[in-house]
Amino acid sequence: MQAFVRAHRVRFGDCDAAGIVFFPRYFEMLNDLVEDWFGEALQWPFATMHGADRAAMPTAEIQCRFVAPSRLGDELRRELRVTRLGTSSCTLAVRFTGPASDLRLELTQRLVCVTAQGALTPQPFPPAVRAAMARFCNTDFEQTREPT
């Protein structure tokens, strides 16, 4: 199965005083990647999702491992795959790698499709969106583990 891949050039505003990416900025880069995936690959832009469709896609869980620092000017490759696809939730595996394909960050993120009004109750993915998500399913995509 395919991955959704986008580049991100580390900018001055991404970095802290030590000249490395300030860790919360990675989560902004992640959110940008997910928003691009929904808009470009799934054809369900956030403007439509949150507007006319009155839905939202909050993060219910996230696990992250920072492997190596990224520095100003680095070109990061952000790669997203679906490792689990349910009726109203999905689990994503995301990796950020550096210019030499060296792993910088890896994470898993669980998103839940909810109504964007009232109690934010789970709702099924629209059928066309779920079908588009299935193209990115890869249950064999393993996260790198630290040696025990």
**Parallel, antiparallel, or unpaired: how do β-strands 75-85 and 89-97 relate?**
antiparallel
Whether residue 38 is contained in a domain is answered as: yes
In this predicted structure, the answer to whether residue 142 has a pLDDT above a threshold of 60 is: no
Tens digit of pLDDT for each residue in 15-68? Answer: 999 999 999 999 999 999 999 999 999 999 999 999 999 999 999 999 999 999
The reported pTM is 0.91
Whether residue 47 is contained in a domain is answered as: yes
Counting the structural domains of the chain, the total is 1
In this prediction, residue 138 has a pLDDT band, given cuts at 50, 70 and 90, of confident
Q: Which domain holds residue 76?
A: 8-134
Task: Specify the pLDDT at position 9.
Answer: 98
Domain CATH code at residue 107? 3.10.129.10
